[in-house]
Chain A
Amino acid sequence: MDYEVTSNRLNGHTRGDIIREADLGDLTTDLLFLVQAGHLSPLKVKKSAKTIDIDPQE
């Protein structure tokens, strides 16, 4: 899952960066704490809109 950095306190990253858990190395206990504290926000995967097949008119 990707996360958006939402504070300027995350070591080595700036607000707006898109990072993954691995980008924080092994210095982070639990990403949940960083999300709760407002340093990270999980990025939700957007589902693509359903497409409608339109039969060509005869």
Chain B
Amino acid sequence: MATTTYLSNPTLTINSVDLQDQCTSATINYVYEQLETTAFGDTARKFGGSAVTSLQNNSIEVELFQSYASSETEQTVFSLVGVVTTLVLKPTSAAVSATNPSYTLTGAYLESHTPINASLGELSTITLTFAGGVLTKATS
């Protein structure tokens, strides 16, 4: 039987600050850049290989409710623009395990932030993209 995952309780920390209850969306993009290794004699294009290590090009995109209250979203995020930081995401708040892995993006750069992104009658949200850094997965 196929299994599906309904993420209702993932955890998110940015610079050690728990923003789970402000987060509505999170996407981890785990990428190794594609390097072509096709050579004479090949009949089809090839990419990568056991002796070829390309660069990671990871990113994490999160959507958060904006809040200007003390210790909330704005105060936590504003200082991180233009610097690198560390993010940790888990599918659930339970202990880290093989079925609840923890993903840590270390050295991710936050290029931009929209301190005000609001419309009349709607909750204000912000979308942050943290780019670069090394992604590691822990299962214990």
**Could you tell me the distance between the alpha carbons of A32 and B79 in the complex, rounded to whole angstroms?**
9
How many residues of A are in contact with the other chain, CB < 8 A?
20
List 14 A-B residue pairs with CB atoms under 8 Å apart, sorted by A's residue number: A9-B76, A10-B17, A10-B18, A11-B18, A25-B16, A28-B16, A29-B83, A29-B85, A32-B79, A33-B79, A33-B80, A37-B76, A37-B79, A38-B71
B 24-64 binary contact with A (CB < 8 Å = 1; else 0) = 00000000000000000000000000000000000000000
Q: Is the CB of B83 within 8 A of A37?
A: no
Q: Is the CB of A7 within 8 A of B16?
A: no
Contact of A7 with B71 at beta-carbon distance under 8 Å, contacts A27-B16, A27-B104, A29-B15 already known: yes
Q: A30: which B residues are within 8 A, CB to CB?
A: 15, 83
A-B contact count (CB 8 A): 61
Q: Is the CB of B80 within 8 A of A27?
A: no
How many residues of B are in contact with the other chain, CB < 8 A?
21
User: Per DSSP, are chain B's interface residues mostly helix, strand or loop, or mixed?
Assistant: mixed
Residues of B within 8 A of A (CB): 13, 15-19, 70-72, 75-76, 78-80, 83-86, 88, 104, 106
**Could you tell me the distance between the alpha carbons of A53 and B79 in the complex, rounded to whole angstroms?**
50
Could you say which of A8, A33, A38 contacts B15, with CB atoms under 8 Å apart?
Answer: A33
Identify the closest chain A residue to B13 (Cβ). Answer: A11
Q: Is the CB of B16 within 8 A of A11?
A: yes
Residues of A within 8 A of B (CB): 6-11, 24-30, 32-34, 36-39
Q: Is the CB of B86 within 8 A of A26?
A: yes
Identify the closest chain B residue to A24 (Cβ). Answer: B16
**Could you tell me the distance between the alpha carbons of A6 and B17 in the complex, rounded to whole angstroms?**
12
Q: Is the CB of B83 within 8 A of A34?
A: no
In addition to A10-B18, A26-B106, A33-B83, 18 A-B residue pairs with Cβ atoms within 8 Å of each other are: A8-B71, A9-B18, A9-B19, A25-B16, A26-B86, A27-B88, A27-B104, A28-B86, A29-B86, A33-B15, A33-B79, A34-B15, A37-B17, A37-B71, A37-B75, A37-B78, A37-B79, A39-B76
